[in-house]
Chains A and B, each alone.
Chain A
């Protein structure tokens, strides 16, 4: 064993999560999984490029050869890297070994992200539509439009809303569409003076960010002594300037606000709209609906609740649902159905496009397939299992000395925990514990800012994980907490088994150094 490996495993006294092997003639595994990530020092794909190197896509047998019309041909070839097929394959396989992807780890640590399993069978359906052109004549895409139409109706039923748009490519894009509709609605009624959007501290910050981007002033409500958004603060906040309340429920704490209808009614009483960020809907599917609480509009993240891949911040898929009154403002085009065929139409007062074409069509197909596979009872079973898994994991995590779940409330589908006690005792911060957990092949996310819950970590197990998965995750946390007590410096020095040990995060704070694309990198850093 190398010195490093020995050091890494020196406290391997963690609780066993594995079932006993009984009489099977297998060697017993260590109580905690040993894990080490690959390191390839892989260059950026542009650096691998060599002039003239190429891969060949063999055409389908019998496919007609099509000459592209002159008008759509590029004058210059695109500046893409030139590589052979095995180089491309190797490159991406190596990169894939250098991260902790959703299909690789017990991905319950990305609380609020609902990292459920994306069934692979649905990728096959999605592949079917991958080559559709967004401007194809509607009579050639009737099947896809039917899927859009049916999924819209299903999501309308699940949320209680009248109409749905499937165009946004992410949750935040859907939230932006929501704000744009709120603004257009008030303007259409001559109430453009409404310039405030109210949100809560534990609602997803995209609500505040999108509303501010759209020109609104943001008024935030803090949690009350019970961890609920303070209703007295809402009463003080509402008035003639109120355009909308944009709120998540359950919030990112996993606490469901039982007075949500009062919140909606208060905002309505001053002429504001109530907008529901339903991206945290995984624990309430088939149990409660946005419209039943009086909300005027809201959105789902199809990549969270409805199983489509998250896709690194996009292309994912958001779905905006609205009441009858807001339907004329939906992003366009929307799918129409006259009883025989499907068409496309831009609503009369549409806010316009949120994304080109019809949105991220492969994800629409995946979400549709996922709902069809489950049926209505299946959706409710998803919610119940997600809540059960979460409450089981909570009981395991709270047994670890040094953890707590502030406000002592029942949770729905996620929990924002605190390591405050452990941190005060050992000086080890939550982020450092999360980084050390990555040495065992799992990770977690702390919390949005500011940290109202001190030393936070947010877990959301969804319905996808088994009891053994959750036990393994809790055992890793227990082990790292134990390490923090015995040898805080060791935990602070983590990770030891990762591709990159520690990064200097300073450049992340410096826009002058940012290079989001290769072209920007060449311009900024290579001169």
Chain B
């Protein structure tokens, strides 16, 4: 894996990420929004943020080798930061207004690096995720440089410099899974926060043990999620169905049981076996009698129910017999005191669910946390 000698960092910049932000457009997905933003006088900022990350990378690891793609998708930022990057030419050079396909192509072209830095927002993270899926086991670990309007995914460092620094100081090769979430921008513009989990990316493990080094990604230290999964498994009782919601944490529960559960869907397990995988609301309602729900907190807003897991409807909830909420302490701390949220579409159900809930934060560790309706 990553060694100090000959460590190669790749860089991909989504030049239009963050365009909509300054124009108050709550996102930059789609050519139309980008045009509107440019018309409103928005200036692209992701290139400059990527350059900041590269500067921090060079400071943290002088002599590091950088490879990227020509032009605004990487080269310009690298040069602005004083680096002389190796260049990988794309089969089909990107047009000035780049698209998701360009991001994917760039990631595929840079597949051989030890670590891939990408600058953008949650939308860019989704494109990177698509490419990583295509590469399968050959995909490098990645780390996001926050440069978009929406940056809720766990694969981003806390700031551009932090991303560069973490990339530079990361010598252990240890990685953790980080969730890629994205909001539906159309709904977001209508004032509805609707995050969805799209998948997980492998990111460098942050050194949280070191006092105050906030150079990590939002992901937790290695082992934390496994501890949570162990706790859930230790609470499982024979004969009781468990409904595992979407998410990397709930998937870790499946893993701890030796099961390949779905990352993005809802599964039902009982007595160490998958009873139903990736179920829709109707089937779930039929299986929910006396079941215990196992849900993780989605994204940065604290949603537990009603976003990305609408299969778990008020009807399903009325039949279940218990609820386990999972989150790392870091995720709770990142809420900055804001409550966990439920929005099932049924006021009565929401009211019944609100109050203080026990959130499992580790093996034999939990936190009592407020859950409220939106």
Contact = CB atoms under 8 A, between A and B. Distances in A.
Interface in A460-503: 489, 492-493
A217 B364 contact: yes
B313 interface: no
Contacts of B330: 450
A235 B171 CA distance: 45
Contact of B365 (A217, A230, A235, A504): A217
A429 interface: yes
Contact of B369 (A216, A217, A222, A447): A222
Nearest to B369: A222
Question: Chain B at the A interface: mostly helix, strand, loop or mixed?
Answer: mixed
B172 interface: yes
A98 interface: no
A504 B171 CA distance: 10
A225 B162 CA distance: 29
A13 to B, nearest CB: 25
Contacts of B364: 212, 216-218
A455 B214 contact: yes
Interface string A52-83: 00000000000000000000000000000000
A222 B332 contact: yes
A225 B336 CA distance: 10
B329 A450 contact: yes
Interface stretch (A41-49, A143-151, A155-163, A506-514): A506-514
A249 interface: no
B236 interface: no
B367 A222 contact: yes
A10 interface: no
Interface string B198-220: 00000000011111111100000
A509 B214 CA distance: 15
A220 B333 contact: no
A374 interface: no
A429 B368 contact: no
A235 B336 CA distance: 22
Contact of B171 (A218, A430, A489, A506): A506
Contacts of B88: none
Contacts of B79: none
Contacts of A219: 358, 366-368
Interface in A419-471: 427, 429-431, 434, 445-447, 449-452, 454-456
A434 to B, nearest CB: 8
A220 B367 contact: yes
Contact of A230 (B159, B213, B368): B368
Interface in B93-137: none
Given A220-B361, A427-B159, A451-B333, A509 B209 contact: yes
A459 to B, nearest CB: 14
Contacts of A508: 207, 209-210
B191 interface: no
A221 interface: yes
A221 B368 contact: yes
Contact of A506 (B159, B207, B215, B357): B207
Given A220-B365, A431-B212, A506 B172 contact: yes
A266 interface: no
B273 to A, nearest CB: 27
Contact of A212 (B162, B365, B370): B365
Contacts of A235: 356
Contacts of B369: 222, 233
Contacts of A208: 365
B370 to A, nearest CB: 7
A19 interface: no
Contact of B368 (A212, A220, A506): A220
Interface in B340-365: 355-358, 361, 364-365
Contacts of A233: 356, 368-370
Contact of B366 (A217, A456, A506): A217
Question: Chain A at the B interface: mostly helix, strand, loop or mixed?
Answer: mixed
Contacts of A141: none
B313 to A, nearest CB: 26
B211 A445 contact: yes
B59 A492 contact: yes
A431 B215 CA distance: 10
A14 interface: no
B229 to A, nearest CB: 16
Given A222-B368, A445-B211, A232 B356 contact: yes
Interface string A207-244: 01000100011111111010000101111110000000
B173 to A, nearest CB: 10
Contact of A427 (B161, B208, B209, B355): B161
B62 interface: no
A199 B211 CA distance: 21
B40 to A, nearest CB: 25
A505 interface: yes
Contacts of A454: 336
B169 interface: yes
Nearest to A212: B364
Interface string B67-98: 00000000000000000000000000000000
B337 interface: yes
Contacts of A449: 208, 329
Contacts of A232: 356, 370
Contacts of A427: 52, 159-161
Contacts of A236: 355-358, 368
Contacts of A230: 356, 368, 370
Nearest to A427: B161
B59 A493 contact: yes
| Max chain A Cβ within 10 angstroms of own Cβ: one of B160, B169, B356 | B356
A221 B355 contact: no
B238 to A, nearest CB: 21
Given A212-B364, A222-B367, A505-B210, 11 more contacts: A217-B364, A218-B364, A220-B329, A233-B368, A235-B356, A427-B159, A430-B214, A431-B214, A492-B161, A493-B59, A506-B169
Interface of A: 201, 208, 212, 216-223, 225, 230, 232-237, 427, 429-431, 434, 445-447, 449-452, 454-456, 489, 492-493, 504-506, 508-510
